[in-house]
């Protein structure tokens, strides 16, 4: 599936280049090709892999962790646990991906010769404690793993064995919290250690240090942090968790995460942490990060023609496209396109989206204003269309025989908000998110309308809800909204799903 995420107009591009819940980006270049990996937390399959030829247009080509042997996410694992902060590198003819599964066995290492997959089963790293692992090789062939903290240990990447004791190599800026997301690079005469610090909320920042070897000692950049939006009025906030890449023309670029808060005070971000792109220059041996803006100059090289993501999936293929994700796992018995040709079949396990084992198939919400539609046959069960942040924060429109009902779960409260009788048979359910300008300090970021499509094509909303309750600032955690289909009881079939962004 080709997916164009960035908008191009003349000599400018629009950030984020990968919108929606795509946090903790890690990037590498092989020849003229760029590859990007992001965190996936409680969703299966895990670690989306994206490809680009110009750093602007990205297409998801697969998921690194798409088998139960690679990714175990227990049912009792809380949302926003699971897969944290991958690092993606290319070395010695292979792609290497190291990441943390905080719910199962800690740090794991995967390899492949084709980033679209399949990737190997994991090599476990029992001697590497901590999260956000980085991987780099020095000129002597030593492989160094650096983790949040910031601590480092030499490892054998083929066996996972640690070759020595971990040692602290830098603690970041004095007084700054949460030094994390380390990445090491050998550039010119120095080794550079890039980190995030200040926490992944409004205080997030990017800082850097350099030293004569991969092991240091490291001296901090005198102008740290080299990137932060804390304390300033800017439409992009929470900027951090960055990675560097050099283009074929020798220019340097940084990918990083950020969010787009909307509404009044304190501002709510609903799409999760997204991937942004910004240029980097080098001055006196230190990186100087360009201004990160929603609209900024495009790279100097020709950009690919903008490809359009398919808005509709008719479920005509035997396998699902890589952008579809489920909660914790996806057994074939519960989710398949092979049972009823041209339909998606979902078989219920959990009773509702409140349950950690709910049968759910969704895609990341990537636009501040969007519409999702699905044609449902719930004759043998009960299910529908949902907007999910986690088990305690979701809205859904549910179809049962002859009835459509809207539910909301906000923290400890679950409520049925509206209902309507419908003819037995097929029903088209609709979810619409629409941004709104703040009228006063307490205005929310957007509204979410849930309803049905009438036979004449008109939309009848049954409920319109405040979007702030499906935001990170309310629900907490590290993810963003996911819109998709679910089964609550029995078996529910979906003929098609359509997503359109503004």
* Torsion angle (degrees, nearest 10) of CA 13, 16, 20, 22: 120
The answer on 131 and 168 residing in a single domain is yes
Structural contact between residues 192 and 227, judged by C-beta atoms closer than 8 angstroms = no
In whole angstroms, give the CA distance from residue 182 to residue 215: 13
Q: Residue 407 sits in a domain of what CATH number?
A: 2.60.120.200
| Domain ranges, residue 424 | 312-501
pLDDT in tens, 252-263: 999 999 999 999
* SS3 state at 213: coil
In the structure encoding, which two tokens stand for residue 171, read together?
């603690």
Rg, Å, the chain Cα set: 23
The phi, psi pair for 183, rounded to 5°, reads -140, 130
Domain annotation covers residue 303: no
Domain annotation covers residue 273: yes
The answer on 316 and 293 residing in a single domain is no
Strand partners, 135: 145
Give the up-direction half-sphere exposure of residue 376: CA atoms within 13 A in the CB hemisphere.
37
What is the SS3 assignment for 151-168? EEEEECCCCCCECCCCEE
* SS3 state at 430: strand
In whole angstroms, give the CA distance from residue 383 to residue 379: 10
The answer on 336 and 196 residing in a single domain is no
Domain annotation covers residue 268: yes
Of 297, 329, 353, which closes a domain?
297
Of 246, 264, 297, which closes a domain?
297
Structural contact between residues 176 and 154, judged by C-beta atoms closer than 8 angstroms = no
Structural contact between residues 427 and 373, judged by C-beta atoms closer than 8 angstroms = no
In whole angstroms, give the CA distance from residue 310 to residue 298: 25
Domain annotation covers residue 3: no
- CA distance from start to end of the chain: 20
pTM reported for the whole predicted model: 0.96
The answer on 132 and 242 residing in a single domain is yes
In sequence order, which residues have a C-beta less than 8 Å from that of residue 250 and are 6 or more positions away?
none
The answer on 464 and 423 residing in a single domain is yes
The answer on 321 and 288 residing in a single domain is no
Structural contact between residues 370 and 502, judged by C-beta atoms closer than 8 angstroms = yes
- Whole-number pLDDT of residue 441: 79
- Whole-number pLDDT of residue 470: 98
In the structure encoding, which two tokens stand for residue 488, read together?
């609550």
Active site residues: 24, 180
Of 297, 325, 350, which closes a domain?
297
In whole angstroms, give the CA distance from residue 1 to residue 3: 6
* SS3 state at 475: helix
Domain annotation covers residue 2: no
In whole angstroms, give the CA distance from residue 211 to residue 242: 19
Nearest-CA neighbor of 254 among 190, 181, 191?
181
DSSP state of 304: P
The answer on 339 and 236 residing in a single domain is no
- Whole-number pLDDT of residue 304: 82
The answer on 320 and 223 residing in a single domain is no
**Per-state percent for the chain, helix, strand, coil, to nearest 5:** 0, 50, 50
The answer on 193 and 334 residing in a single domain is no
The answer on 152 and 18 residing in a single domain is yes
Return the H-helix or E-strand segment holding 473: helix 472-475
Query: In the chain, which residues have pLDDT < 50?
Result: 1-5
Count of beta carbons in the 10 Å neighbourhood of residue 411: 10
For residues 284-313, b (16+ Cβ closer than 10 Å) or e, as one string?
eebbebeebbeebebbeeebeeeeebeeeb
Q: Residue 108 sits in a domain of what CATH number?
A: 2.115.10.20
The answer on 471 and 337 residing in a single domain is yes
In whole angstroms, give the CA distance from residue 390 to residue 482: 9
Structural contact between residues 268 and 25, judged by C-beta atoms closer than 8 angstroms = no
For residues 132-160, b (16+ Cβ closer than 10 Å) or e, as one string?
bbbbbbeeeeebbbbbbbbbbbbbebeeb
Domain annotation covers residue 307: no
In sequence order, which residues have a C-beta less than 8 Å from that of residue 332 and are 6 or more positions away?
none
| Torsion-angle region of 411 (φ positive above 0: left; ψ -120 to 50: alpha; else: beta) | left
Domain annotation covers residue 59: yes
- Whole-number pLDDT of residue 308: 59
* SS3 state at 343: coil
The answer on 74 and 160 residing in a single domain is yes
Domain annotation covers residue 121: yes
The phi, psi pair for 25, rounded to 5°, reads -70, 140
Structural contact between residues 183 and 134, judged by C-beta atoms closer than 8 angstroms = yes
- Whole-number pLDDT of residue 477: 97
**What is the count of structural domains for the chain?**
2
In whole angstroms, give the CA distance from residue 41 to residue 73: 9
In the structure encoding, which two tokens stand for residue 484, read together?
């998709």
């Amino acid at each position: 599936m080709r997916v164009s995420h960035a908008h191009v107009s003349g000599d400018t591009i629009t950030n984020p280049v990968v919108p929606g819940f795509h946090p903790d980006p890690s990037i590498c270049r092989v020849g003229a090709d760029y590859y990007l990996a992001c965190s996936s937390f409680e969703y299966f399959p895990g670690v989306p892999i994206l490809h680009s030829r110009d750093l602007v247009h990205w297409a998801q080509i697969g998921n690194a962790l798409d088998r139960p042997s690679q990714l175990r996410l227990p049912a009792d694992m809380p949302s926003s646990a699971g897969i944290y902060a991958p690092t993606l590198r290319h070395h010695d003819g292979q792609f290497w991906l190291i990441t943390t599964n905080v719910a199962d066995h800690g740090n794991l290492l995967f390899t492949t010769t084709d980033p679209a997959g399949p990737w190997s089963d994991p090599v476990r790293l029992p001697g590497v404690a901590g999260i956000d692992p980085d991987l780099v090789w020095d000129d002597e062939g030593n492989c160094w793993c650096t983790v949040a903290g910031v601590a480092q240990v030499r490892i054998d990447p083929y066996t996972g064995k640690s070759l020595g004791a971990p040692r602290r190599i830098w603690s970041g800026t004095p007084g700054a919290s949460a030094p994390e997301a380390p990445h090491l690079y050998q550039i010119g005469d120095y080794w550079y250690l890039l980190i995030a610090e200040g926490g992944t909320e409004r205080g997030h920042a990017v800082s850097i240090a350099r030293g004569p070897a991969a092991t240091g000692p490291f001296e901090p950049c005198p102008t740290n942090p080299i990137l932060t939006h804390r304390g300033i009025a800017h439409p992009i906030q929470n900027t951090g968790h960055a990675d560097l890449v050099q283009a074929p023309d020798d220019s340097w670029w940084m990918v990083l995460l950020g969010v787009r808060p909307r509404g009044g005070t304190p501002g709510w971000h609903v799409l999760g942490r997204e991937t942004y792109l910004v240029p980097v220059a080098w001055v006196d041996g230190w990186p100087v990060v360009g201004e990160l803006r929603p609209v900024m100059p495009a790279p100097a090289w020709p950009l690919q023609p903008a490809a359009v993501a398919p808005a509709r999936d008719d479920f005509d293929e035997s396998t699902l496209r890589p952008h579809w994700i489920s909660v914790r796992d996806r057994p074939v018995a519960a989710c398949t396109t092979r049972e009823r040709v041209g339909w998606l079949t979902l078989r219920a396990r959990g009773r509702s989206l409140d349950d950690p084992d709910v049968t759910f198939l969704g895609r990341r919400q990537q636009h501040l204003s969007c519409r999702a539609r699905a044609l449902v046959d719930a004759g043998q069960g009960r299910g529908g269309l949902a907007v999910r942040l986690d088990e305690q924060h979701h809205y859904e429109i549910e179809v049962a025989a002859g009835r459509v009902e809207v539910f909301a779960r906000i923290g400890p409260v679950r409520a049925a908000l509206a209902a309507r009788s419908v003819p037995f048979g097929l029903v088209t359910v609709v979810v619409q998110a629409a941004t709104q300008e703040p009228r006063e300090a307490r205005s929310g970021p957007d509204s979410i309308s849930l309803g049905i499509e009438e036979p004449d094509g008109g939309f009848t909303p049954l409920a319109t809800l405040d979007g702030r309750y499906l935001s990170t600032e309310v629900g907490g955690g590290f993810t963003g909204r996911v819109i998709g289909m679910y089964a609550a009881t029995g078996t529910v079939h979906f003929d098609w799903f359509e997503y359109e962004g503004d």
